[in-house]
């Protein structure tokens, strides 16, 4: 998830003014490294046919198959060479302004803790596996790297327009839960999907969710779910197209327009949507029935 909260308190004790902390890589225990390895092995088996090829190239370029939790120093050295990005530890969620400033300066902030073995399938706060395995490989791709920086710059602008909630939807439906067209197939690239075994299957195979062609304004009107699998996924044509749409849009007038329009519910399909899959929503309905 977007690792930011609205409030702008001072950094916690031990953190720098930009909220970063040392990763203290030597402090990880053997069992924490083993948790990373188990999560890595499970996704490495599942993903090759499902994930965008740029993600797999990123894993390779960054040598992320090396056993154990990655050392951010080593990872940043490789990433700096590839695209000028680096990875820094933070204690938890950071204020929005801090988060956007890091992205705008090509710095990715990540949690340093790893989930417990009994949380292999779900945890609420993003851990190092979500942040690093999920997000960092695509930062080695030049176009996606530029998109993430543009998002950070856009975030600082959105703060001035009071439109963070609208912009956050763009992050959610691309960086976290995006799908991309690859020939006649769809592939996953969002970090929330690639770091989740169950959603890596659900997002592509399950008949429940909608899969709809990406449209910037439409996405920024769409609510999202934070507590379960998505009910709609948005499909980009390419990273180039995503970056171009982001850079070519004049967000000031767009925010003014969005302020006049109603939100779109998570499961809604609009007549103008280009639909890859009209979802049955059976999964979400069954879940609702059980609540
Ligand atoms: Fe995330």
How many Å lie between the centroid of ligand 1 and the Cα of residue 152? Answer: 14
How many Å lie between the centroid of ligand 1 and the Cα of residue 171? Answer: 9
How many Å lie between the centroid of ligand 1 and the Cα of residue 135? Answer: 7
How many Å lie between the centroid of ligand 1 and the Cα of residue 144? Answer: 15
Q: Is this structure's pTM higher than 0.85? A: yes
How many Å lie between the centroid of ligand 1 and the Cα of residue 125? Answer: 9
**pLDDT tens track for 176-210:** 999 999 999 999 999 999 999 999 999 999 999 99
**pLDDT tens track for 226-283:** 889 999 999 999 999 999 999 999 999 999 999 999 999 999 999 999 999 999 999 9
Tell me, letter by letter, the H, E, C secondary structure of the chain.
CCCEECCCCCCCCCCCCCCCECCCHHHCCHHHHHHHHHHHHHHHHHCCCCECHHHHHHHHHCCCCCCCCCCHHHHHHHHHHHHCCEEEEECCCEEHHHHHHHHHCCEEEEECCCCCHHHCCCCCCCCHHHHHHHHHHHHCCHHHHHHHHHHHHHHHHHHHHCCHHHHHHHHHHHHHCCEEEECCEEEECCHHHHCCHHHHHHHHHCCCCEEEECCHHHHHCECCCCCCCCCEEEEECCHHHHHHHHHHCCHHHHHHHHHHCCCECCCCCCCCCCEEECCCCHHHHHHHHHC
**pLDDT tens track for 28-78:** 999 999 999 999 999 999 999 999 999 999 999 999 999 999 999 999 999
How many Å lie between the centroid of ligand 1 and the Cα of residue 265? Answer: 22
How many Å lie between the centroid of ligand 1 and the Cα of residue 271? Answer: 31
**Percent of the chain scoring above 90 in pLDDT:** 89
Q: Is residue 3 scored above 70 in pLDDT?
A: no
């Amino acid at each position: 998830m977007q690792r930011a909260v609205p409030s702008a308190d001072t950094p916690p004790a031990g953190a720098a003014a930009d909220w970063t902390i040392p990763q203290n890589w030597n402090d990880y225990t053997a069992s924490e490294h083993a948790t990373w390895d188990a999560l890595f092995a499970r996704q490495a088996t599942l993903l090759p046919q499902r994930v965008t090829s740029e993600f797999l190239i990123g894993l390779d370029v960054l040598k992320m198959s090396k056993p154990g939790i990655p050392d951010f120093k080593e990872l940043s050295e490789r990433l700096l060479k590839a695209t000028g990005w680096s990875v820094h530890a933070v204690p938890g969620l950071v204020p929005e302004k801090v988060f956007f400033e890091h992205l705008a300066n090509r710095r990715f902030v990540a949690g340093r803790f790893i989930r417990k073995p009994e949380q292999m399938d779900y945890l609420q706060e993003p851990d190092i596996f979500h942040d690093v395995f999920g997000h960092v490989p695509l930062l080695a791709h030049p176009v996606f790297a530029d998109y993430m920086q543009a998002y950070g710059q856009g975030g600082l602008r959105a703060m001035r327009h009071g439109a963070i909630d609208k912009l956050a939807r763009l992050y959610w439906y691309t960086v976290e839960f995006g799908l991309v067209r690859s020939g006649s197939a769809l592939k996953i690239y969002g970090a929330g999907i690639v770091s989740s075994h169950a959603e890596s299957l659900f997002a592509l195979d399950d008949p429940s969710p909608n899969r709809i062609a990406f449209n910037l304004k439409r996405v920024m009107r769409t609510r999202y779910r934070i507590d379960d699998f998505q009910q709609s996924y948005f499909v980009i044509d390419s990273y180039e197209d995503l970056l171009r749409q982001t850079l070519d849009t004049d967000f000031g007038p767009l925010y003014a327009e969005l302020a006049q329009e109603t939100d779109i519910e998570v499961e809604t399909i609009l007549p103008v949507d280009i639909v890859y899959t009209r979802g049955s929503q059976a999964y979400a309905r069954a879940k609702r029935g059980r609540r």
